[in-house]
Structure 1
């Protein structure tokens, strides 16, 4: 199935996701549910630099690269230290220096649609990049004074002395504080202070720019992982639809950049009368 130049946008997306469905639904659904394609680890720690510790069973210990994290574990970075947590192999949260978070909720539903994670941030600054392809239906970061809830977005969560700043780089984020709710769009930030929410333009500093670049690299790594693990399925798609390597690359990149999840693919297939494998 080839996309032609004058194809309407909606039809183009449907054509795109049906091709991706061969790779993503047949591949991800079977491999995640039956064979766990990347790994069976819902949360995995990566050490970027400096001193990083993990609290487990009421005891702080030095973190180890690639260690699995569980519900109720806490992660803490020291001065000049950074770390990241890979969630369900296709979403990531990065911790700046002097940051502490607890994984208060971590649910691997096994169906690529209903995974969930909630982080309790106690100090510092985090950056979250949440992709639908990871199957995360609910994702939130909570602090004592504010909650940011999302699905499929990138945002900054910064606890300062007397306020919390939540900046939206992609998508939308629901911010809750003091009984108030505000739905923030891309390019905006919420300043939560004294129980009130103030909406401003998102201020992009060096931390934000650094994470935007890291997100681009993360998406490229994810694309390569998909290609490597589903090489056989990609070969079938190429043979059946006459697709080139360049087109396959383009389709996968669009599926990631347009933040398509399994539900989106299922709907597209259903609209064309196709059935799930």
Structure 2
């Protein structure tokens, strides 16, 4: 006789599921959007079935998708959140906060995000999801990374992030795929295994359980979940946990480069009508570029000043501090031994035995690491 069990929907964040429903606020809010404030390389925006190359000043709306290959892009929302989408990422903007829209919800299919939130009210939310996980924040800086075929990686630089498994909202009927004991363990793990990450902590995910949650999410809607696919899943005792992961000087520096410009500029751009070509005006683009360049310069100057304050001036000290030692070959023939602390656009911050320098990409021939080298331009 077959045993039939019902897997109860898993409610996230203390059973307050409604707070994280995708597109839960259907208000037609014209202020809901995010503006491209900085980009490098080739970035594609998919909007209402159309594909376009991203430009400074472009406005991304709820439902739009961004694809980055060899490039990265920074966006700032109407509410003030700053989001960096790194190389080889695929991100769906399921919702974006506006004046009357409380949620920003990003879905990462693959790639790497760096997110800086603003202080949120109790009725507001910022969440990042993958096919198996959801991370909710309250005024923080964190990264969310997902490689295909791997488990999500979440790391907190500032504030706190609450992470939980994300399962299908529909009931899942399981026939003999799991024993009663394993079924009860699975439900208990998913219901109770919410982890709150704090600065210097990263997420640890049980790959076996992550695979099962993915399987449930992917197949339950199509009623394609079979007993054979469930057989063998038994490691449910450990779902999510956290591990110490010190924020490196390079990570701290990158977080500081995630700068925001005046909210008035962003809000005006989101609310402004487009011309017939759907392009932002030249005046708007110039304003955004000027403000962002000023904030970038402030951030890079601070990073350079903080590096100089360490007083490290020999290779061993620099290596111990940055966990890397590099040889920077300059275009004029000079050679610096040290570490690249940060890079934003065409500017590098280099902490060397000869001091701390801000170098443009044109100043650098190539950077040589201990076991490999990365060329920043064609070697002459």
Q: Distance in 2 between matches of 1:63 and 1:151?
A: 29
Unaligned runs of 5+ in 1: 1-38, 226-277
Q: Give the equivalent residue in structure 1 for 2:58.
A: 67
Shift of 1:57: 1.9
1:115 touches 1:135 (CA, 8 Å); kept in 2? no
- Report the TM-score, using the length of structure 1 for normalisation: 0.58
Q: Give the equivalent residue in structure 2 for 1:155.
A: 142
Aligned pair 1:102/2:92, yes or no? yes
Give the ranges of 4+ consecutive aligned residues of structure 1 lying more than 6 Å apart after TM superposition.
133-136
Distance 1:68 1:135, change over 3 A: farther
Q: Give the equivalent residue in structure 2 for 1:184.
A: 197
Q: Deviations over 1:30-79 (max 9, x none)?
A: xxxxxxxxx95631123420000001122322112111111110011112
Unaligned runs of 5+ in 2: 1-29, 167-189, 211-238, 266-380
Shift of 1:90: 1.9
Q: Distance in 1 between matches of 2:129 and 2:157?
A: 18
Give secondary structure in 1 for the equivalent of 2:242: strand
Q: Give the equivalent residue in structure 1 for 2:72.
A: 82
Aligned pair 1:167/2:180, yes or no? no
Q: Distance in 1 between matches of 2:194 and 2:120?
A: 27
Aligned pair 1:132/2:119, yes or no? yes
Shift of 1:208: 2.4
2:200 touches 2:247 (CA, 8 Å); kept in 1? no
Give the total of aligned pairs: 180
Distance 1:64 1:48, change over 3 A: closer
Whichever of the two has the greater Rg, that structure is: 2
Shift of 1:198: 3.0
After TM superposition, list the pairs within 5 Å mapping 1:218-237 onto structure 2. 218=260, 221-222=261-262
1:146 touches 1:176 (CA, 8 Å); kept in 2? yes
Distance 1:224 1:53, change over 3 A: closer
Shift of 1:206: 7.4
Distance 1:73 1:209, change over 3 A: same
Q: Give the equivalent residue in structure 1 for 2:285.
A: none
- Report the TM-score, using the length of structure 2 for normalisation: 0.43
Greater relative contact order (Cα 8 A, min sep 6): structure 1 or 2?
1
Structure whose residues are more often helix by fraction = 1
1:130 touches 1:136 (CA, 8 Å); kept in 2? no
Give the alignment's Cα RMSD to 1 decimal. Answer: 2.8
Q: Give the equivalent residue in structure 1 for 2:256.
A: 213
1:54 touches 1:62 (CA, 8 Å); kept in 2? yes
Deviates further, 93-102 or 54-63? 54-63
Q: Distance in 2 between matches of 1:214 and 1:130?
A: 14
